[in-house]
A and B are shown apart, each in its own frame.
Chain A
Amino acid sequence: MTIAVIDYGMGNLHSVAKALEHVTHENVVVTRDARRIRGATRLVLPGQGAIRDCMGELEKTELRGLVEELLASQDKPLLGICVGQQMLLDHSEENGGIGCLGFLPGEVRKFPADMRDERNERLKVPHMGWNLVNQHHDHPLWAGIDQDEHFYFVHSYYVEAADNATVFGTTDYGRVNAHVAIGRDATFAVQFHPEKSSRAGLKLLENFVQWMP
């Protein structure tokens, strides 16, 4: 039983691995080795920074084909985090427009710069900090997590999925209703950082580790 955190060279994977180790006795590996990724029982697809760089590194490390194949087969649970969520869509507006993995229909869009809150304060971008996640459908990964719980976010682009059946959670920021938890079959992906979201985040990771889709 091994959980593989897919390391294609983008971002800090230490936190994700540590948080997984905190909730399971299963072996957690951070790896870009195709054999180990294929051999794992569960996969985590993280992502940080610009999506052009994330997609670029995925190509460069020759992991794109493998990730696409694993997404197509859906034979093991996969958790996408942050840009690892965004990459599952068709396309992102970031970096002048970037084609993504197209596993779920939809777009990644930039938060408008002119949003204000009820006190007429400018809403900052990146959307950084703790915000409420509204759960739309039941999902095993929401087990034991309150409706409208706070999770920790850091992002300037957000997911707009085309198919409501794939949307499991949303978060309001200004006039944007971001699709912050999406999925189908054995894949679940979140915009927020469960590994940085204290108790609620650890609960979601624990649910993922026990998930039998």
Chain B
Amino acid sequence: MGLAKRIIPCLDVDAGRVVKGVNFIGIRDAGDPVEIAQRYNQQGADEITFLDITASHEDRDTTVEMVERIAGEVFIPLTVGGGIRSCDDIRTMLNAGADKVSINTAAVTNPDFVHEASERFGSQCIVVAIDAKKVSAEGEPERWEIFTHGGRRPTGLDAVEWARKMVAYGAGELLLTSMDRDGTKVGFDLGVTRAIADAVSVPVIASGGVGNLDHLVDGVIDGGADAVLAASIFHFGEYTIPEAKRYMAERGIEMRL
């Protein structure tokens, strides 16, 4: 027995507040990121990822304050993604107490940024977020492409090739989101998860489409993911993290219980 597979709850934050609500029993303020992060830590979450959807530059300062407050109270790895475009952005988040940053669009528009960031801060804190969509037709060999702007804009980049390139540029981990599954609750796209997990040497986090605990199991066993990220199934109390961990452990997956 050895390295545990990780469960990572993901919180969307806007101007320092958690949006899309979290429905824990006994929580005082459903929008308070510190309270929610603490609750997930107590439940045994292995890491927490914050996706900053704050639009305005001024409001981003509140995200930094939020990360500072959480890092002073919650002692598990914290990842911050959304709007990370420069080494200054990364330094600000790391200084605030984030352990990793996740780079998305900026990696597509300027791949050298990933190289520069990993040289400067170390690969261990650079996660590259890959938003992929299946583009092959029924009956064709499966192929996935990178999309930006929330899955609306195609880039022409092959997802598996892109994943290899990002690792070569210094990504320490990949956060793979299947854009055609995101929000559907029908499970991860196991094809692209498996293709990328087998193509790269670094850990892969599967994301997008989780609706039940079997989906988490499938992501690890069939998809080959090292970690699974989910939002709504945990936020709205459908399942707790301990339930998910026990379920996965009963199916032979190494978990931190």
Contact = CB atoms under 8 A, between A and B. Distances in A.
B191 interface: no
Interface in B40-61: 41, 46
B203 interface: yes
Nearest to B91: A12
Interface stretch (B24-32, B180-188, B220-228, B233-241): B220-228
A163 interface: no
B202 interface: yes
Interface string B148-188: 00000000000000000000000011000000000000000
B114 to A, nearest CB: 16
B124 A130 contact: no
Contacts of A12: 94-95, 97, 99, 125
A48 B100 CA distance: 12
- Main DSSP-derived SS at the A contact region: mixed
B122 interface: yes
Nearest to A48: B122
Interface string B188-201: 00000000011001
Contact of B46 (A18, A48, A126, A130): A130
Nearest to A21: B72
Interface string A102-143: 000000000001000101011111111111100000000000
A51 to B, nearest CB: 11
A126 B3 contact: no
B123 interface: yes
B135 interface: no
Contacts of B6: 129-130
Given A125-B201, A127-B3, A129-B203, A198 B122 contact: no
Instruction: Bin chain B's interface residue count.
Output: 35 or more
Contacts of B224: 121
A122 B201 contact: yes
Given A150-B4, A172-B2, A126 B77 contact: no
Contact of B2 (A117, A197, A201): A117
A11 B75 contact: no
A173 B3 contact: yes
Interface in A1-35: 11-12, 14-15, 18-19, 21-22
A49 interface: yes
A196 interface: yes
Contacts of B221: 119
A195 interface: yes
Given A48-B124, A131-B3, 14 more contacts: A11-B122, A12-B97, A14-B97, A15-B75, A22-B72, A50-B122, A121-B197, A126-B123, A126-B124, A126-B202, A129-B203, A172-B2, A197-B76, A201-B75
Interface of B: 1-6, 41, 46, 71-73, 75-77, 94-97, 99, 121-125, 172-173, 197-198, 201-204, 221, 224, 226-227, 256
Interface of A: 11-12, 14-15, 18-19, 21-22, 48-50, 113, 117, 119, 121-132, 150, 152-155, 171-174, 195-198, 201-202
